[in-house]
Amino acid sequence: MQNHLSEQEIIRRQYLDELRAMGVDPFPAQAFSVNTHASDLRHRFDTEPDAFKEISLAGRLMSKRNMGKASFAELQDSSGRIQLYINRDQICPGESKELYNTVFKRLCDIGDFIGVRGYGFKTQTGEISVHVQEFFFLAKSLHPLPIVKTDAEGNVHDAFTDPEQRYRKRYVDLIVNPHVKEIFVRRSRLINAMRRYFDERGWLEVETPVLQTIHGGAAARPFHTHHNALDMPLTLRIANELYLKRLIVGGFDGVYEFGKMFRNEGMDRTHNPEFTSMEIYVAYKDYIWMMEMVEDCLEKVITEVHGGTIVAIGNRKIDFKKPYRRLTMYDAIQEYAGIQVEHMDEATLRQYCRSQHIAVEDSMGRGKLIDSIFGEKVEGHLIQPCYITDYPLEMTPLAKKHRSKEGLVERFELYVNGKEIANAYSELNDPIDQKQRFELQLKLAARGDEEAMMMDEDFVHALEYGMPPTSGLGIGIDRLTMLVTGQEAIQEVLLFPQMKPEARHQA
């Protein structure tokens, strides 16, 4: 992709040849045995100095301070950094001083992988370090790394912060920005903690198709693809809900899936074309039970990953301690917009939206209009975790009709920091009602609603065999991770966010 090498890249390539000429393989094949990590030494040396008398470490050389016949360097392994003290006569006990003078001092660059053996000690200034007795070259790095330095006051100099470069070259970002690595460690722990919570309760982790002939389970535009052998169009899933409910029909008490979803829509700091959701369905439960499960799960999982229930995002502090506030959608609109929409008809709602400069389209039915008012007037106020319950039937074709409130469904969404992070229902299990709901969606589609759901005959057929009363939940894992790690852009919690190719690298 590059035909022009910088001066520094040319020099590093020349060093490859020089190393080989000296009999040092710049990419040796054999394993290097490691018995200590940087953080072990840093954290335990003061209390257990005897444990570090014969240590070997490996990692990337991140800085070099040569002082003639001795040098200090920093080694970065997966656990962090540790200082090395390398003395010429220690690593070159014989006549030849080439390993120190030439291999280490000249041919070894910042970014190269090295292995060292020696012992732990403290320098005169009190820094825990490795006194290196043996030095091994493990792998050459041909590109110079950004040099990020931190001074005695903790100020970071020359930080590698350009988001474009960081996302395109995430490997470099991870090498030089330790706080970035921490975000992804936390993300993984969060997912594992949730998985443990579900497994402990006996629910089964499953996998359902990504390639679908009928995309269903959510209101969104899909990606289209094509299967050659079958010569048929397929779409990438926008949700896995209808498959998971088929499994409840099949007799599982609880099933869940962490999976990538794909939606062919806009991208911004809270949307990536592919994102991770967790959906779970539990038989013989309803949405009231689900609210209790979700707040219990989040409180436990966040405490486990974060060390407490309070997370900071921007200037705000959000407390995930249960229980969470519960507010019906109509009451929420009453509270924040000052109007009672319950008995308003479509024309009145549309007129209100226009008066408030809320964008409306002719294809919008009553449900979507209410949702627009909610989105415009209420969402931004919901900072602390809050359940919004009881949605208009029209916009929720997969949820069961409310047990006592006409025209509503048993649904809640969990809002945190002004954003929806979870969505749950008492699942609709009446196949005749379900079929009618799909037909209502088809009517909305005919009016021009591009996100209206498609009829899924096989799913209705599955419900006709009987599905127990079931509660289902979807959580946006990326958004939850954003909250737990204090990030305000989804790109910061995705290792490889979607990017357009750079023009200079095309063709």
Partner RNA sequence: GAUCUGUUAGCUCAGUCGGUAGAGCAACGGCCUUUUAAGCCGUGGGUCUUGGGUUCGAGUCCCAAACAGAUCACCA
Question: Contacts with RNA in 148-167 (CB under 7 A)?
Answer: 148-152, 157-165, 167
- Binder of RNA out of 70, 142, 206, 288 (CB under 7 A): 70
Binds RNA (CB under 7 A): choice among 17, 48, 54, 89: 89
Say whether residue 504 binds RNA (CB under 7 A): yes
Distance in Å, CB of 277 to RNA, minimum: 8
Backbone angles phi, psi at 27, to 5 degrees: -135, 65
121 is a contact residue toward RNA (CB under 7 A): yes
Q: Identify which of residues 226 and 500 has a Cβ nearer to RNA in the complex.
A: 500
- Looking at beta carbons only, is 172 or 460 nearer to RNA? 172
Mask 235-264, x = binds RNA (CB under 7 A)?
----------------------------x-
CA distance 294 to 125: 51
Residue 272 contacts residue 491 (beta carbons within 8 Å): yes
23 binds RNA (CB under 7 A): no
Q: Is 468 exposed, middle or buried (0-12, 13-18, 19+ CB in 10 A)?
A: middle
Q: Least separation, in Å, of the C-beta of 129 and RNA?
A: 6
Neighbours of 8 (CB within 10 A): 12
- What percent of the chain is helix, strand and coil (3-state, nearest 5)? 35, 25, 35
**Nearest approach, Cβ of 168 to RNA (angstroms)?**
8
Angle, to 10 degrees, between the axis of helix 178-200 and the axis of helix 477-485?
Answer: 120
Cα end-to-end span (Å), the chain? 9
Residue 67 C-beta: closest distance to RNA, Å: 4
- What distance separates the 2 farthest-apart alpha carbons in the chain? 95
- The smaller minimum CB distance to RNA, of residues 176 and 462, is found at 176
**Which residues, 416 to 455, sit near RNA by CB under 7 A?**
419-420, 423, 451
Specify the 3-state DSSP secondary structure of 292: helix
Residue closer to RNA, measured from CB, 408 or 462: 408
Each residue 327-366 as x (binds RNA by CB under 7 A) or -, in order, gives --------------------------------x-------
User: Interface residues for RNA in 122-141 (CB under 7 A)?
Assistant: 123-127, 129, 131
For residues 426 and 406, what is the distance between their CA atoms, to the nearest angstrom? 15
If one asks whether residue 375 binds RNA (CB under 7 A), the answer comes out as yes
Residue where the block lists tokens 């894992």: 477
The span from the CA of 216 to the CA of 239, in Å, is 6
144 touches RNA (CB under 7 A): yes
In whole angstroms, how close is the CB of 274 to RNA at the nearest point? 7
Piece of 102-110, 183-191, 382-390, 453-461 that binds RNA (CB under 7 A): 102-110
* Contact in structure between 276 and 226 (CB atoms under 8 Å): no
When binding is defined by CB under 7 A, the residue of 22, 147, 204, 432 that contacts RNA is 147
Q: Which of 201, 227, 269, 325 binds RNA (CB under 7 A)?
A: 269
By CB under 7 A, tell whether 272 contacts RNA: yes
Write down the least CB distance from residue 403 to RNA, Å. Answer: 25
Closer by beta carbon to RNA, 2 or else 404: 2
Give one DSSP letter per residue of 430-455, joined into a string: -HHHHHHHHHHHHHHHHTT-TTPPPP
If you compute the radius of gyration of the chain from its CA atoms, what whole number of angstroms results? Answer: 29
Query: DSSP strand E in 160-223: where?
Result: 204-205, 211-212
Structure tokens at 323: 């229980």
* Contact range with RNA by CB under 7 A, out of 30-38, 144-152, 317-325, 402-410: 144-152
> Which of the 8 DSSP states describes residue 488?
S
Q: Is 219 in the site for RNA (CB under 7 A)?
A: yes
Cβ proximity of 159 and 165 under 8 Å: no
The distance from CA 188 to its chain's CA centroid, rounded to whole angstroms, is 8
18's torsion region: left (phi>0), alpha (psi -120 to 50) or beta? alpha
Q: Which stretch binds RNA (CB under 7 A): 23-31, 146-154, 206-214, 461-469?
A: 146-154
Q: With CB under 7 A as the contact rule, which of the stretches 59-67, 245-253, 329-337, 428-436 interacts with RNA?
A: 59-67
The DSSP result for 73-113, as a single string, is: EEEEETTEEEEEEEEHHHH--SS--HIIIIIIIII--TT-E
294-307 core/surface letters (b: 16 or more CB in 10 A; e: else) = bbebbbbbbeebbe
Between 181 and 321, name the residue whose CB sits nearer to RNA: 181
H or E element that contains 461? helix 457-464
Q: Supply the minimum distance, in Å, between the C-beta of residue 259 and RNA.
A: 13
Q: Which is nearer to RNA, 164 or 406 (CB)?
A: 164
Nearer to RNA, 157 or 343 (CB): 157
- In whole angstroms, the minimum distance from the beta carbon of 291 to RNA comes to 18
Stretch that binds RNA, among 29-37, 191-199, 245-253, 491-499 (CB under 7 A): 491-499
